[in-house]
Amino acid sequence: MTPEFVTIGVYGFDETSFFQALVDAGVDTVCDIRRRRGVRGAAYAFANSQRLQARLAELGIRYVHRLDLAPGPETRQRQHGADTSARTAKRQRETLDPAFIAAYRQECLTGFDNQQFVADLGPGARVVALLCVEREPAACHRSLLAERLAEELGARILHIVPG
């Protein structure tokens, strides 16, 4: 059975609303697809790996880190260059640059096995949150992974954004 997928970023949430959003969506597994599992600023300390994992465990939500789905430095640099040219701060970005999209698909999604990914998540994974930091799904690589899962597995996708 293919799980349902939700996507969620950290920016725009406070600690309480972030974890409540996961609970409200029925998430049983968080799949962290960040390369750096820390977020700058005290307001987002809850999303730093150890704190995040501890709170998820308290809520009975499993945590999985998939570094292979995080863009590498060269791919990230493509988006950074586009953001710099557009004078857009990462936290204000609303879309991804086409060069980043192409590089991410090449680096992380070429050869990516959707069925194996689902199998690796295990039979208990019914609602899986793809986690990164950006507020807007369209501004984050998590939307590219979600798109792939929807297209190739027919997976249902829900994007959770702060209210």
Q: Give pTM, 2 decimals.
A: 0.94
Is the pLDDT confidence value at 107 over 80?
A: yes
pLDDT single digits (tens) 4-14 = 999 999 999 99
Looking at the DSSP bridge assignments, the partners of residue 8 are 131, 160
pLDDT single digits (tens) 22-65 = 999 999 999 999 998 778 789 999 999 999 999 999 999 999 99
Is the pLDDT confidence value at 90 over 80?
A: no
Reported as type and span, the H/E element at residue 129 is strand 127-131
Structural domains in the chain, CATH included, are 4-160 (3.90.190)
Helix, strand, coil shares of the chain as percentages rounded to 5? 50, 15, 35
